[in-house]
Amino acid sequence: MTHPTTAAPDGSPPPGAASGTDAGTDAGTGTGNASGADAGRPRHRTGPRRPRTASSRENRAGLAFVTPTLVVVTVVVVLPILWTVLLAFQDARLVDIQGMGLLGDWSLRNFASVFASPGFWTSLWTTLLYTAGSTAGSILLGLVAALALRRPFRGRGLVRGSMLLPYVAPVVAVAFVWEIALSPQFGVVNEWGAKLLGWDDPVAFLSTRSYEVSLFGLDFELPLALLTVIAFETWRYFPFAFLFLLARLQAVPGSLEEAAKVDGAAPTQRFRHVLLPQLMPVVALLCVLRFIMEFNKFDDVYLLTGGGSGTDVVAVRVYDFLTARFDVGAAAAQALVLAVILMALLGLYFTFFGRKVQEERS
């Protein structure tokens, strides 16, 4: 709807009929506008023009307001991304990039070397495992937390506030706390593990590629460092899921659950058939958001393990290419491959699940 505001003088008076413009803007709808002031006017002349003027004013105002934001986003985000694409197809090293033109020699060499380089495919697989594990872990724990904290109790505000700490605290600080706590030499976890659980040897959580576990006579190989990093991500990001899920839970009308309760539905049934359908859209949204964030994650892994012991996610490899080898082209190519894979996965997700979510929402 065009509302009168849009016709308000923007500093310059509207061209032509200045009087009664405010009241006349609604003329486009043709209703309720037969005021005395307008009655004497030839409607056919001004009528069709006014709405166009109003909307074109709004159009101009909109463009004017959006321009600064658009310029900033273009300069700091869009152009760099486009440049990454260009760099990925060039043989670019940091030393000679100073004198290089925007368009150098094109080649696919970067991609060839990225795909052929040792460890790229395992790194991609690690990234996928890491992303899936962290996404699922943080959302599940967040859901459990939201369910536990949805009803008020004494001290809830305190617990709620403290639960957000992992998400708010700087990653460098909490990564070091974990590193020290898990240290085999002086870590509190190994110390208490030995005391309480009778661990024979200290466990090097962050530097063990695979850890043998015997369970019921079967031997398992656990990718321990990767699992630890996933646990860290789960811990750090469950508050994010918790916040969104709690907000949604509290918006679920109480009558829905009451009705199910009266019908004798057990809590698990109420959760499955009443709450979960209500939560699904938020869970789907969280899955997408967390997946994107984890897929591109650099700092957490880099700080905890430096990308060693089977935690070499692609983002850390990009960093290594950029800073250790100064191979800008290969780094850009890898970042681009990562982004394309992410887009493809998101595309798949939205083709298969997007519609389902839409249906559940309606």
Using CB under 8 A as the binding rule, whether residue 192 contacts another protein is answered as yes
Q: By CB under 8 A, tell whether 362 contacts another protein.
A: no
Among 108, 112, 213, 247, binds another protein (CB under 8 A): 247
d(CA 310, CA 324): 19
72 is a contact residue toward another protein (CB under 8 A): yes
Q: Is 130 a binder of another protein (CB under 8 A)?
A: no
Rule CB under 8 A: which of 168-187 touch another protein? 168-174, 176-178, 180-181, 185-187
Tokens of 314: 């692609």
- Binding flag, residue 210, another protein (CB under 8 A): no
Tokens of 86: 């260009």
Instruction: Work out which of 34, 39, 76, 116 binds another protein, going by CB under 8 A.
Output: 76
Q: Which two tokens stand for residue 331?
A: 């780094």
Q: Judged by CB under 8 A, does residue 267 bind another protein?
A: yes
Site for another protein in 46-65 (CB under 8 A): 55, 58-63, 65
Query: Nearer to another protein by C-beta: 153 or 352?
Result: 153
Nearer to another protein among residue 148 and residue 276 (C-beta): 148
- Distance (Å, whole) CA 221 – CA 226: 12
User: Residue 69 interacts with another protein (CB under 8 A)?
Assistant: yes
Residue 259 touches another protein, criterion: CB under 8 A: no
Candidates 38, 91, 257, 299; binder of another protein (CB under 8 A) is 299
Alpha helices in the chain (DSSP H): 21-24, 36-39, 43-46, 49-73, 79-88, 94-97, 109-116, 120-148, 156-163, 165-168, 171-181, 188-196, 224-251, 254-262, 267-270, 276-295, 299-305, 314-323, 328-349, 355-361
For position 28 contacting another protein by CB under 8 A, the verdict is no
Which of 358, 131, 133, 137 has the alpha carbon at shortest distance from 242?
A: 137
Nearer to another protein, 16 or 161 (CB): 161
Residues 137-156 that bind another protein (CB under 8 A): 144-145, 148-149, 153
Written as one letter, the residue type at 298 is F
By three-state DSSP, how is residue 219 classified? strand
Residues 301-360 binding another protein (CB under 8 A) are 303, 315, 318-319, 322-323, 328, 331-332, 335-336, 338-339, 342-343, 346
Structure tokens at 265: 């539905």
List 249's β-bridge partners, or say none. Answer: none
Least Cα distance to 128 among 13, 296, 254 occurs for: 296
Verify binding: residue 11, another protein, rule CB under 8 A: yes
Q: Name the one range near another protein by CB under 8 A: 27-35, 115-123, 163-171, 214-222.
A: 163-171
For residue 18, state whether it binds another protein (rule: CB under 8 A). Answer: no
For residue 139, what are its two tokens? 């959302």
Q: How far apart are the first and last CA of the chain?
A: 24
Site for another protein in 224-243 (CB under 8 A): 235, 239, 243
Structure tokens at 293: 């964030």
Q: Using alpha carbons, select from 296, 299, 301 the residue that is nearest to residue 341.
A: 296
Q: Which amino acid is located at 133 in the chain?
A: G
Q: Which is nearer to another protein, 38 or 58 (CB)?
A: 58
